[in-house]
């Protein structure tokens, strides 16, 4: 990909096109990591709604270990999101030319770590949750917070439930019959651009999931190393582009 194009994906001045392209790329990574992670550890690591429900169910059923495990996964996701906020704000305070570079590089490093030592981490547990699950949940929280901050909360890449909900709302508006077209105050109009964005993100997450599942099935943990490459490219592109212009 051209350096200029990659640099625009994480530029401080945002455009709808840059948000969409970044969202599609990161949704693909999230889908691949989520599906591949499930084959690796039998647990989806972006589904925090399920984690909270699991903690509640197991608490009532008396499965304290499983309830604590779900809580630890949730805390790991939360820590990842907090890490992104800390890194971005620290870079902003230092007037860094690319305040999003550090979270992208950290996510790339975590993906490489998962690919290289994921199988070993799986053998070690905190309570009853493997360190692999903790690593994946942290990575998911890191990425979701990153794209949320970059797009000013317009785009999420791991929260498919919200994307499908918003898509359904716009579809409902699309098929709504405006009986009195003269009553502008009550005229219902679908946001077709919003529909396209959400549909593209859901599709990208699905395609990423298929790719991640196939990758893990045939190459195991190491398949996630490939996912780190676009993240590294995006984190380095602004500096390279600035150097080329200079």
Q: What is the pLDDT along the chain (246 residues), one digit of tens a residue?
A: 578 888 888 877 778 888 888 889 988 998 998 888 788 777 777 778 778 888 899 899 988 888 888 888 889 999 999 999 999 999 889 888 788 888 888 999 988 888 887 667 666 556 556 677 788 889 989 988 888 888 777 777 777 888 888 899 999 988 888 777 666 667 888 888 889 988 999 999 999 999 999 998 888 888 888 988 888 888 888 777 666 665
Number of other residues whose CB lies within 10 A of the CB of residue 104: 28
Q: How far is the C-alpha of 100 from the C-alpha of 229, rounded, in Å?
A: 16
Give the pLDDT of residue 148. Answer: 84
Query: Which single residue is written with the structure tokens 């530029």?
Result: 11
Q: What angle do CA 106, 153, 16 make, to 5 degrees?
A: 95
Residue 246 domain-assigned (yes or no): no
Which domain does 161 fall in, by range? 3-241
Residue 240 CA, distance from chain mean position: 25
State the DSSP code for 189.
-
Residues facing residue 125 across a β-bridge:
130
Look at residue 182 in the predicted model and tell me its pLDDT.
62
Residue matched to tokens 């599942």: 213
Q: Please give the angle made by the CA atoms of 66, 70 and 75, to the nearest 5 degrees.
A: 145
Residue 120 burial (C-beta neighbours within 10 Å; 0-12, 13-18, 19+):
exposed
Q: What global pTM score does this model have?
A: 0.84
Work out how many domains the chain is built from and give that number: 1
CB 145 within 8 Å of CB 84: yes
Tell me how far apart the alpha carbons of residues 116 and 123 are, in angstroms, rounded to a whole number: 14
Question: In the Cβ-directed half-sphere of 214, how many Cα atoms lie within 13 Å?
Answer: 6
Q: How far apart are CA 77 and CA 241, in angstroms?
A: 33
Q: Provide the β-strand partners of residue 130.
A: 125
Give the pLDDT confidence score for residue 236 in this predicted structure: 84
CA 102, 103, 104: angle at the middle one, nearest 5? 90
pLDDT, residue 223, reads 86
pLDDT at residue 190, rounded to an integer:
86
- pLDDT computed for residue 79 by the predictor: 95
């Amino acid at each position: 990909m051209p350096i200029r194009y990659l640099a625009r994906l994480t530029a401080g001045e945002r455009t709808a096109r840059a948000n969409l392209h970044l969202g599609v790329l990161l949704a693909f990574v999230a889908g691949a990591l989520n599906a591949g992670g499930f084959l690796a550890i039998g647990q989806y690591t972006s589904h925090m709604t399920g984690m909270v429900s699991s903690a509640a169910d197991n608490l009532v059923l008396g499965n304290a270990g499983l309830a604590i495990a779900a809580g630890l996964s949730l805390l790991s996701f939360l820590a990842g999101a907090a890490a992104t906020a800390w890194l971005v704000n620290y870079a902003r305070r230092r007037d860094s030319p690319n305040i999003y570079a550090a979270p992208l590089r950290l996510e790339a490093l975590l993906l490489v770590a998962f690919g290289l030592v994921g199988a070993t981490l799986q053998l070690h547990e905190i309570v009853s949750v493997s360190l692999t699950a903790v690593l994946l949940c942290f990575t998911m929280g890191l990425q979701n917070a990153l794209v949320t901050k970059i797009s000013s909360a317009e785009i999420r890449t791991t929260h498919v439930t919200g994307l499908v909900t918003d898509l359904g709302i716009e579809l409902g508006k699309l098929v709504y019959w405006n009986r009195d077209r003269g009553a502008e105050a009550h005229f219902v109009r679908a946001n077709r651009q919003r529909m396209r964005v959400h549909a593209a993100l859901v599709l990208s997450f699905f395609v990423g999931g298929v790719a991640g599942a196939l990758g893990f099935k045939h190459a195991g943990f190491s398949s996630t190393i490939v996912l780190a490459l676009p993240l590294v490219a995006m984190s380095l592109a602004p500096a390279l582009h600035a150097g080329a212009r200079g």
